[in-house]
Amino acid sequence: MSALPDSVKDIADGLRRAGYLPGESTALVSYLATKLGKPVLVEGPAGVGKTELAKALASYLDRELVRLQCYEGLDEAKALYEWNYRKQLLRIQAEADGAGWSEVQDDIFGSEFLLERPLMRAIASKAPVVLLIDEIDKTDQEFEAMLLEVLSDFQITIPELGRVEASSHPVVLLTSNNSRELTEALKRRCLYLWLDYPALEHELEIVRLHAPELSETVARRLVEIVGMVRELDLKKPPSIAESIDWARALLLLGAQDIDAAMFRDTMSVIVKHRTDLDVVAERVGVKLTALPRS
């Protein structure tokens, strides 16, 4: 287990080594999160590397990543803990003859009968972990309220057992696609990080990191085109992950340059809606032939 970072630069370098190129504010907020022990709420469009950030942090800090994927109808039984009913019933039946009620009752509400779910696991873990609560905006408001205890005090109250306090301090990341307004109470407890599509140079670096064999000129042209495509009004603008996919596809095809024909053949890697394809072909495909070759 590595020590906590000493400066913003440390964490930026560390994330870089883990294969994630952080922007300035990303590194800063990650640093503050480790130092202040506050959860981070990460928002931004789909595919800008919100989840990747958590993975990179875990790998840099050399910690286990505990992930809780949120969805509509997620409840505490699946997020926190659940009593193992089957085992409890077995226990009762095994003791059915003889043993008094009170012994059995004390018995069946022990930690032996507890099924740990992600949040519980993150709290109870001996070694510190990175906890990723993914797509928090998909859950109900009640679930958010339940999270508050975990996020501010790092403890969970189980009525039958008492309070379980964190033995180590996890780094917590919450991601949201902003599909609904989160409650003030939750935001209040978090640091806020807004991730947007990266600037041209930054994205170029990211693409070069993930597809190092691609020649500089092609990579530059690629991110320029992706930038152009994002300018258009699309159903789903291409994300960073798609730029990388495209870079790999071009590599595989051994492309020396992205011309109109090559673009037409491969653009389905970055554009994934029927109507979007038409718009992009019309608006960007034409420009490609006109652009001077770089």
Which residues form the interface with another protein (CB under 8 A)? 8, 24-25, 28-29, 31-32, 35-36, 38, 41, 43, 72, 85-86, 89, 140-142, 178-181, 184, 187-194, 199-200, 233, 275, 292
Cβ-based nearer residue to another protein, 127 or 200: 200
Instruction: Give CA–CA dist 292/294, Å, rounded.
Output: 6
Q: Cβ 228 to another protein, closest distance in Å?
A: 11
Q: In 3-state terms, what secondary structure has residue 273? A: coil
Instruction: Give CA–CA dist 142/154, Å, rounded.
Output: 18
For the packed helices 240-253 and 200-210, what is the interaxial angle rounded to 10 degrees?
50
Q: Cβ 64 to another protein, closest distance in Å?
A: 25
Cβ-based nearer residue to another protein, 143 or 161: 143
What's the first-to-final CA gap in the chain, in angstroms?
46
Adjacency order of strands within the sheet including 129-134? 64-69, 129-134, 171-176, 40-43, 191-194
The answer to whether 62 and 2 have CB atoms below 8 angstroms apart is: yes
Instruction: Give CA–CA dist 56/65, Å, rounded.
Output: 10
Q: Cβ 135 to another protein, closest distance in Å?
A: 12
Instruction: Determine the residue type at 126.
Output: K
Cβ-based nearer residue to another protein, 199 or 252: 199
Cβ-based nearer residue to another protein, 213 or 233: 233
Q: Cβ 204 to another protein, closest distance in Å?
A: 13
Cβ-based nearer residue to another protein, 64 or 137: 137
Q: Cβ 43 to another protein, closest distance in Å?
A: 7
Cβ-based nearer residue to another protein, 32 or 251: 32
Burial 94-113 (b: 16+ CB within 10 A, else e): eeeeeeeeeebeeebbeeeb
Cβ-based nearer residue to another protein, 29 or 79: 29
Instruction: Give CA–CA dist 271/253, Å, rounded.
Output: 18
Q: Cβ 289 to another protein, closest distance in Å?
A: 14
Cβ-based nearer residue to another protein, 117 or 187: 187
Q: Cβ 126 to another protein, closest distance in Å?
A: 27
Q: Cβ 86 to another protein, closest distance in Å?
A: 7
Helix ranges, the chain (H): 8-17, 24-36, 50-61, 76-79, 85-94, 101-108, 118-124, 141-153, 184-188, 200-210, 216-231, 240-253, 260-266, 274-290
Report the candidate in 241, 247, 242 with the shortest Cα–Cα distance to residue 211. 247
